Amino acid sequence: MQELQIKRLLDEAYLNLGDTDQLSFVNPLTQAKDGVYSGNPVLELCSYFRNPDYLHWTCKILLNINLLPFQAAILRELWTKTFPMLVATRGAGKTFILSVYAILRALLFPGAKIVVVGAAFRQSKLLFEFMETFWRNAPILRNIVGSGKHQGPKRDVDRCTFYIGESVIMAIPLGDGSKIRGLRANYIIADEFASIPTEIYETVVQGFASVSADPVEGVKNQSRVKTLKSLGLWNPAEEGEEPDNIGNQTILSGTAYYAFNHFADYFKRYKQIIASQGDKKKLEEIFSGRVPANFDWRKYSIIRIPYHKLPHGFMDETQVARAKATIHSSIYQMEYGACFCTDSNGFFKRSLLESCVCKDPIDLPSGPVQFPASTVGTPNSNYVFGVDPASEQDNFSIVVMENHADHRRIVHCWTTTR
């Protein structure tokens, strides 16, 4: 073998394609053009940038990012499905690929509104920080977007916003949902979904995408289709959508958790929908009745990536081996195996502890009671402090109890060691 051939084989070894000289490739940019792109190279180039099959190339050119084959496959699935779910091992790069996806959507679909939520503002900020890194390292992206006052990444106290032309990406804190209820978005990214409270997600976050990207145009199109059908002029072939035109989208992502968590419930439901293959009887069993109008099982997708399916070298195998040797098997399966475990191995089972947590309001004569932990007291309330001064054989701890007329609340616990 010649030296250049050996170098090429080594450079392309990570693709697992063998000797690429023995393969046949077609470069669409070098092919003769006709039809809509004839004589319009700009429109042609934009169509390839948006094509799900070439997103790895888009990332290389516009974002200055090289993707591994499995990352390109994830990105393609996110690009073409309305309800994708990403469940992957700790360290698989979920936050990275979601950040890449958000940037590309905002750039290639002008006017897109993307909302990124996590259980804590910190999680949303992680995605935003990746996007800021892409912005700094991608001169072509900065040149396309420009450096105007209302372009690029901006940080505020209660949200982080990324402006790309007419598109906007918002990373927001979830809180109790009251301060974000009025937001609207075409694309929702819910990261670390297991930690997002079910009530807030289903009543507030899902409502972000309940309105069409262009409501007026959506009503006009539906009326047009209805009229064509009534006149007998409707062609069913016209219903086919472009692979990247998926409508309003919701992405669920995170590390697997216990089977009694709502993330596992969503995982099971998605899996049942996909396994039904559109069978009406199976779908009726899933929905416990009539299947919703316009329901399409093909819009659902699950991407599950355990540690052993990642390419060798992607993660530090020494650290993974240490984790497998030192932590409980159930925790390892959740963190690295992308498995939803039924319960913990401790004397006090996690399911027992979860069953003792009151997630719904408790009705009392004074009204419904539901409260979070507090770090600051309220002036008109009475508090009782319980202090355990241990410091040698046990932890020093403080418990704060808030007194009310017909009940008491434990609003804060704190512990430390010497």
Most confident option among 69-78, 237-246, 278-287: 69-78
- Check residue 74 and give its pLDDT: 95
Distance (Å, whole) CA 141 – CA 149: 16
Residue 211 has pLDDT above 70, yes or no: no
Q: DSSP states of 124-161 as a string?
A: HHHHHHHHHHHHHH-HHHHHHH---TTSEEEE-SS-EE
> Where do we find the tokens 């540690």?
307
Residue 365 has pLDDT above 70, yes or no: yes
Over the Cα atoms of the chain, what is R_g? 26
Considering only residues 74 and 365, tell me which one the structure prediction assigns the higher pLDDT: 74
Residue type, 118: G
Residue 242 has pLDDT above 60, yes or no: no
Distance (Å, whole) CA 59 – CA 138: 10
Q: How confident is the model at residue 346 (pLDDT cuts 50, 70, 90)?
A: low
Residue 47 has pLDDT above 70, yes or no: yes
Lowest model confidence (mean pLDDT) among 130-134, 280-284, 309-313, 353-357: 353-357
Average pLDDT, the chain: 85
Lowest model confidence (mean pLDDT) among 60-64, 235-239, 277-281, 331-335: 235-239
Which of 365, 362, 353 has its CA nearest to residue 409?
Answer: 362
Q: How confident is the model at residue 210 (pLDDT cuts 50, 70, 90)?
A: low
Residue 220 has pLDDT above 60, yes or no: yes
Q: How confident is the model at residue 76 (pLDDT cuts 50, 70, 90)?
A: very high
- Check residue 335 and give its pLDDT: 92
Residue 264 has pLDDT above 80, yes or no: yes
Distance (Å, whole) CA 146 – CA 126: 24
Mean pLDDT of 11-15: 82
Considering only residues 142 and 246, tell me which one the structure prediction assigns the higher pLDDT: 142
- Check residue 232 and give its pLDDT: 75
- Check residue 101 and give its pLDDT: 96
Give me the residues paired with residue 154 across strands.
161
Residue 320 has pLDDT above 60, yes or no: yes
pLDDT digits (tens, 9 = 90+) for 95-147: 999 999 999 999 999 999 999 998 888 889 999 999 999 999 999 999 999 87
Phi/psi at 104 (5° precision): -65, -40
Phi/psi at 252 (5° precision): -105, 130
Domains and CATH numbers, the chain: 66-211+248-309 (3.40.50.300), 360-416 (no CATH)
Distance (Å, whole) CA 286 – CA 267: 13
pLDDT digits (tens, 9 = 90+) for 148-169: 778 889 988 888 999 999 999 9
